[in-house]
Amino acid sequence: MSATSLIQLVAACFGIIGSLFFAIGVMRQSVDAMGRLSGSYWDSNPHIPKALATQKADYLFGGGLIVVAFVLQLVSFFVPADAEALSTSQARWAPWVALVLTTLAFFVLRVLAIRVASYFQVQVEAWLKRRQSQT
C-alpha cells in the first residue's frame, strides 16, 4: 500500500467518524428541544418551528449521505486491484449515468426531506400548543 493510499484510507475513516458525530448531534435534537427553542418567555415565534424542522430534516439527510459517501470510499479499498475493469463503452457512459443518478437522487431526497420536515414541524407545533394549554 502506498503512502497516498494509506492517507486516503485514514481520511475515509476519520470522515466516517466525523459525519457520525454530525449525524448523532442532529438526531439527538428532540421535538422537546425544538419546542423550547421555538418559544420565548411570553409567547412563541411562529416561524421558528418550520425553520428548526427543516434544518433537522436537511441535516439528517445530509449527514446520512456523508456517512454513506465515506463508507463507500472505505469499501473501495477492499476491492481487489485486479478486479474486472469497465469496458471502453461502459467507461464512456459512466460519468453520464452518475450525473443522471445524482440529479435524480437529489430531487427524490429533497422531496423526502421536505416531508420529514413537515412531520417534525407538526410535532413541534403540537408540543407548543400543549405547553401553552398548561399555562
Q: Write down the number of H helices and E strands in the chain.
A: 4, 0
Specify the residue for cell string 398548561: 134
d(CA 48, CA 39): 8
Does residue 52 contact residue 34 with C-beta atoms inside 8 Å? Answer: yes
- Point out the residues of the chain with pLDDT beneath 70: 1, 40-44, 135
Give the alpha-carbon dihedral of 31, 35, 37, 38, to 10 degrees: 130
- What is the reported pLDDT for 68? 86
Query: Could you give the CA distance from residue 75 to residue 6 in angstroms, rounded to a whole number?
Result: 14
Measured distance CA(81)–CA(109) in Å, rounded: 33
pLDDT number for residue 106: 92
Predicted pLDDT of residue 42: 63
Count of C-beta atoms within a 10 Å radius of residue 51: 15
Please give the pLDDT value at position 98. Answer: 87
Residue 109 confidence (pLDDT): 92
Report the pLDDT value the prediction gives residue 123, as an integer from 0 to 100.
93
The predicted pLDDT at position 115 comes to 97
pLDDT confidence of residue 110: 93
User: How far apart are the C-alpha atoms of 2 and 19, rounded to whole Å?
Assistant: 26
At residue 40, the pLDDT reads 64
